[in-house]
Amino acid sequence: MTMRKTRLLAWVCAMFLAASAVAQEAAYVAVPGFVPPAPGEHPRLLFRKADIPALRKKAATPEGQQMVARLKLVLGGGEALAAGFSKDAPVNNANEAEIRNEPLGTFTMSHPAGFGMLYVLTGEKRYADLAREGVDRIFVGQVDRDSRYNWTTPGTGFRLSFVLQGICLAYDLCYDAWPAEYRQKVAQAVINMKQKKVDKNQFYALEDLAKAGGYPPGSNHFGAYLLGPGLAALTFMGDPGSDDKRLAAVLKTVEANLNRVLGEGFGDHGWFAEGTSCGRIAANNGVIPLMQSLKVAAGRDYISPRPHGRYTVLRLMHEIVPTGGGFTEKAGKQIPVPSRPLIPHRGDYGDNELYKRPILSHMGDFAQGMGAVLPREAQAMAWIYDQFVEPGTEKTWNTDVYPHLAVYALVNWPDKMLDPDEVLPHVIADDRHGYYVARNRWQDKDDVVVTTLLKRGPGGYKSGAVRGGTMVWGLGEKLSFGGLKGATTHFRAGKDGSMELADAGGSALVVDFSSASGATAVIAATGEIKAGSGKMSKAATLDVGGTRVTVLTLSAGEHPVPAVAGDTITVGKQTIQFQGGKLTLGQFAPAQ
């Protein structure tokens, strides 16, 4: 048997062992017709060599040209390593104002990956040489524009995980252009790493990252730890000089913990134990790109079989509401007004504005996320991005300031858009955590979104900061009031986004989007709730058989007046009955 065949057999066996070791608990299916990469075959993390002609063709389209231009812009022009280099000292806690003030094109841990993509697209070795220069600077301690991210003394294990993502992508994309001895140098540096945390006498090897540093799955750190060691195993396994047995063991641990975070940290429809922004850390810095590379490099599809993985990003698609946008006239010219996509935020590390913070975890939901959902869902995401995030012809393609996000955007962005109404359900229920979202449509800033959190299931370090209750966003207004908690005893989802919900404590909530009432939306909940009233909203508290029920109407015109008869509230032509601790709608079309 030749050396090449021996290494190929070792690679296949290692991948099989890693898969079979977690088969009992893994929630993936095999990719049909998958052929494992041969030893030394690259690229393999985001696409295979056979995909390159189609990728180059995509890069030549008008949209692809915009993405490549954006890639070069965030690289600092694309013809030199960077527009500048941060001189900040490595830290664990960063000053966000300083991060944002760094010029566009300042060196990041993913600059080498960006040049790697330019090499793949053009075949010009000079881009691979720039990628190599960037990796060398990383290895000697150059910090990212956000100095928490660096190789020699990273802020935390999950910061180091992003550094590994940048190195692995560069290696994968530039493999054919780099000399064999340099490839082995990079592989050995990663496989045998033992990096010191910046502020503690604590060291990280691949195994430490694969174990998520001892954090629980409900911590925002847990999922973000997994990406680096997972990509390292997928990147170097089977290549000359790699320790395939050890890398297979690392990958086994990573996948076991991926299954833990998709169920113990995230719920079945994307809610995260520590809240909105903490979930984006675990998703954008970990789960989402990891699932894509497991599918491409290992033939293991965690995306299709169940919603757990997909909804780490799709949940945002149900929550997002645009504010602003359009045009204003100035000096006789139409000046575009930037759209500010908002989400009903709960918990620490952020607020309602989706892209306000200049940090890595608050970037790339679309660029990376489109590679971790079903094709039609990616097309719906493209519609939402086009209409809600960056309407108009000039786009940044969700890259912000990081080159790797431009790489993911070029690979993942679909070539067509679909109206989300044709793809996504109008009601989602995360049963693990008791998180429910009801939405009437995807159209504009006047969309109505109702979210409620019953706060159950596993927690994390930051869980105490997560508010429960119900948030009602609609017709430009934002209202909050108390809600349900604990166990769900009744739930019905409507095709139009209407919803019925009740808990074991006797509290109940209904959302009516049927228009039967004459209002855009009617939300009713047991209890005397101070929901407030605005220009488009009006609240009334009624006595229904001795139980107080608050009825909130949202309307751009006249508000229907609720009336009570026995155990039934009438609002226009809609009825809401209160019996057995639950509220039910008279006119209700169940979801299929």
Rounded (5°) CA angle 32-35-36: 125
CA gap 519, 498 in Å, rounded: 13
Pairing state of beta strands 427-430 and 333-336?
Answer: unpaired
> What's the token pair of residue 40?
């030394």
Report pLDDT for 236: 98
Question: Tens of pLDDT along the chain (592 residues)?
Answer: 454 444 444 444 444 444 444 333 458 999 999 999 999 999 999 999 999 999 999 999 999 999 999 999 999 999 999 999 999 999 999 888 888 889 999 999 999 999 999 999 999 999 999 999 999 999 999 999 999 999 999 999 999 999 999 999 999 999 999 999 999 999 999 999 999 999 999 999 999 999 999 999 999 999 999 999 999 999 999 998 899 999 999 999 999 999 999 999 999 999 999 999 999 999 999 999 999 999 999 999 999 999 999 999 999 999 999 986 556 667 777 666 667 899 999 999 999 999 999 999 999 999 999 999 999 999 999 999 999 999 988 899 999 999 999 999 999 999 999 999 999 999 999 999 999 999 999 999 999 999 999 999 999 888 888 999 999 999 989 998 888 999 999 999 999 999 999 999 999 999 999 999 999 999 999 987 777 667 899 999 999 999 999 999 999 999 999 999 999 999 999 999 999 999 999 999 999 7
- b/e burial code for range 144-157 (CB count within 10 A of at least 16 → b): bbbbbbbbebbbbb
Tell how far CA 471 is from the center of its chain.
Answer: 21
Let me know how long the chain is.
592
Q: How far is CA 28 from CA 23, 231, 277, 313, in A?
A: 9, 17, 26, 18
Q: Which positions ≥6 away from 528 have C-beta within 8 Å? A: 541, 548, 550
CA gap 427, 439 in Å, rounded: 6
Asked if residue 318 lies in contact with residue 437, where contact means CB atoms within 8 angstroms, the answer is yes
Q: Is CATH 1.50.10.100 correct for 3-412?
A: yes
The two counts, helices (H) then strands (E), for the chain are: 17, 21
Q: How far is CA 56 from CA 61, 119, 174, 371, 430, in A?
A: 9, 11, 16, 18, 40
CA gap 439, 513 in Å, rounded: 8
Q: How far apart are the first and last CA of the chain?
A: 57
3-state secondary structure of 446: coil
Q: Which residue has the tokens 């009031």?
A: 481
CA gap 114, 298 in Å, rounded: 23
Pairing state of beta strands 327-330 and 300-301?
Answer: unpaired
Domain ranges of the chain: 3-412, 425-585
CA gap 243, 248 in Å, rounded: 9
Query: What pTM, to 2 d.p., does this model score?
Result: 0.93
> What's the token pair of residue 450?
């109702």
Residue 523, exposed/middle/buried by CB under 10 A (0-12, 13-18, 19+)? buried
3-state secondary structure of 393: coil
3-state secondary structure of 478: strand
CA gap 380, 371 in Å, rounded: 13
CA gap 170, 557 in Å, rounded: 57
Pairing state of beta strands 488-493 and 547-554?
Answer: unpaired
> What's the token pair of residue 108?
């990041």
Report pLDDT for 21: 40
Asked if residue 542 lies in contact with residue 551, where contact means CB atoms within 8 angstroms, the answer is yes
3-state secondary structure of 548: strand
Pairing state of beta strands 427-430 and 435-439?
Answer: antiparallel
3-state secondary structure of 299: coil
CA gap 539, 479 in Å, rounded: 11
